[in-house]
Amino acid sequence: MKKAILLLEDGFVLEAKSFGAEGETLGEVVFNTSMTGYQEILTDPSYKGQIVTMTYPLIGNYGTNSDDVESAKPWADGFIVKEKSKIFSNWRGSVSLEDYLAKHNIVAAEGLDTRALTRHIRSSGAMRGILSTHDFDVASLKAKVMASPAMVGRDLVRDVTCKQAYDWPGAGARKEFFVVAFDYGIKYNSLRLLDRAGCKVRVVPAATKAQEVLALKPEGVFLSNGPGDPAVLDYAIQEIGKLIGAVPLFGICLGHQLLGHALGGKTYKLKFGHHGGNHPVMDLETRKVEITSQNHGFCGHGIDQGQERRLDARQPLR
């Protein structure tokens, strides 16, 4: 294995061993607390622009396959683990994680102290970083990091959205509803679940006009997940605003935040985000706690200067 180095914009440095593709990659360094699902994480377009650190110590033990993907290719800009498994064993596994990363040109590193890195991000916040397998000069790496774009103010949706509309290939059962899904970085599982619920789904690019969507006469419009800063996606927010009151809307992740913006809300950057499969969330009315899967770097807050109000999705705000 060749040497690799990780440097964060505040000067935090860790040495590691390279696996996967060789080279250099820049992105926001975040940590994910999931114990499984690394292939789903790598192929989730919401991770575009990020270098993902897995907190679970051993990664790669069940390999990769052609089924557990959330898009047509991996989108994470880099991958960091404590230890990669030297072998994989699973009845569906076909390619090792290392070979999968190399094939898709993703720079990865192992052998560094992921606990120390996670604790640093928790205390100092997610920040820009660089992972390199050929440049080990700290001053040079720092200059590259500081010249790279920050996550706040960054439109990454244009990089991950589909280029033209397409119909999701359903399972063949009778479909009761027709849904148009905006692709801001849509995950395949959202489409699978809509199909399973009896929906025929047309996926459209992020910049599709509201008039075009309404002309399709859908029974609902789905606003998908995606990467980057929702506040700068004016082209999406404006069209969502035109759909409010005209058709039922529902969304997750970035799509939900964009709907909040269209209704007059705001978003802000979280310190280190919520990325993983074990996040406790309390229902404040019932006091019941549920363990949830999350992947958020931004959060929404109040409408009308923080005043709570009940929104009727059938009526646009005045």
* pLDDT, tens digit, 9 for 90 and up, residues 32-50: 999 999 999 999 999 999 9
Summarised one tens digit per residue, pLDDT across range 259-315 is 999 999 999 999 999 999 888 999 999 999 999 989 999 998 765 544 333 334 333
Report the chain's mean pLDDT, rounded to a whole number: 93
How far, in Å, CA of 273 to CA of 178, rounded? 34
Quick one: tokens of 26?
Answer: 């820049």
pLDDT category, 171, cuts 50, 70, 90? confident
Q: Can you tell me the mean pLDDT for 111-122?
A: 97
Checking if the pLDDT of 181 tops 90, the result is yes
What stretch(es) of the chain map to CATH 3.40.50.880?
157-265
Beta bridge partner(s), residue 110: 17
Quick one: tokens of 86?
Answer: 């030297």
pTM: 0.91
- Report pLDDT for 302: 64
- Report pLDDT for 175: 87
Quick one: tokens of 283?
Answer: 């229902």
Q: Can you tell me the mean pLDDT for 51-77?
A: 97
Checking if the pLDDT of 249 tops 50, the result is yes
Checking if the pLDDT of 200 tops 70, the result is yes
Q: Can you tell me the mean pLDDT for 105-121?
A: 98
Summarised one tens digit per residue, pLDDT across range 70-92 is 999 999 999 999 999 999 999 99
Backbone angles phi, psi at 27, to 5 degrees: 170, 175
User: Looking at the domain 3-147, which fold is it?
Assistant: Glucose Oxidase; domain 1 (3.50.30)
How far, in Å, CA of 123 to CA of 116, rounded? 11
Closest by CA position to 249, among listed 235, 232, 234, 261? 261
What stretch(es) of the chain map to CATH 3.50.30.20?
3-147
Q: How far apart are the first and last CA of the chain?
A: 61
- Report pLDDT for 262: 96
pLDDT category, 156, cuts 50, 70, 90? very high
Quick one: tokens of 157?
Answer: 């949706």
- C-alpha distances (whole Å) from 193 to each of 149, 155, 294 are 35, 27, 17
- We find that the CATH architecture of domain 157-265 is 3-Layer(aba) Sandwich (3.40)
- The answer for residues whose C-beta is within 8 angstroms of residue 260's C-beta and 6 or more apart is 266, 267, 300, 303
